[in-house]
Amino acid sequence: MAATPPVCDFGWKAPDFSLPSTEGGTVSLSDAAGPNGLLVMFICNHCPYVRSVLDRIIRDGRDLMALGVGVVAISSNDAVAYPQDGFDKMGKLARSEGFPFPYLHDEDQSVARAYGAACTPDFFGFNADLKLQYRGRLDASRKEAGAENLRRDLYEAMKQVAEAGLGPTDQVPSMGCSIKWKDPA
């Protein structure tokens, strides 16, 4: 089912986290933050919205890291109900696609809840003070990738954040598959 997150809550402080990485070890908020900001992306292995633009997510992550923006991807889906989103398969995807950023597993879904993540992909762009400045889309792609020459909304917004500390006032929300929440115990 498609979901759309709310608009950007400018200045909202990034919640802390410490999650296992597919590369081994754990990555925390302070580990992930770059000198010019941080991009936290909620993605997963199986979502068709993510799969259709994964090459662009990787490209934009790499380009933002070159601007001093830290980048992490987090998968929070229920891996029991969706085994293709399990930790072992996350690692295989990260290696086969050459993720330049850590891919983290939020098994208990506490980080997704703390961030208010709604869908995959869901992008949270923070400035150097870890205050939210962007919660929008990657580009105008939807379930299928759009044209190659689409405006790079995420990249352009986070480039502005890296340079000026403030995100654009006009933002278009991301759209994707809803987070696959675990059944309450």
Which residues are CB-contacts of 82 (< 8 A; sequence separation ≥ 6)? 44, 46, 180
Q: Go through 23-56 and write b for each residue having 16 or more CB atoms within 10 A of its CB, e for each that does not.
A: eeeebebeebbbebbbbbbbbbbbbebbbbbbeb
Query: What is the average pLDDT value for the chain, to the nearest integer?
Result: 95
Determine the pLDDT at residue 185: 62
Q: Tell me what the mean pLDDT of segment 57-65 comes to.
A: 98
Q: What is the reported pLDDT for 142?
A: 86
Q: At 1, is the pLDDT very low, low, confident or very high (cuts 50, 70, 90)?
A: low
Name the 3-class secondary structure at 29: helix
Q: Does 113 or 4 have the greater pLDDT score?
A: 113
Residue 100, Cβ neighbours under 10 Å: how many? 15
**Model pLDDT for residues 84-123, shown as the tens digit of each residue:** 999 999 999 999 999 999 999 999 999 999 999 999 999 9
* Mean pLDDT of the 166-182 span: 95
**What domains, with CATH codes, occur in the chain?**
2-178 (3.40.30.10)
pLDDT at 155: 98
DSSP 13: B
- Smallest Cα–Cα separation from 85: which of 55, 125, 116, 112? 112
Amino acid type, 9: D
- Residue 4 scores a pLDDT above 90: no
Amino acid symbol at 114: A
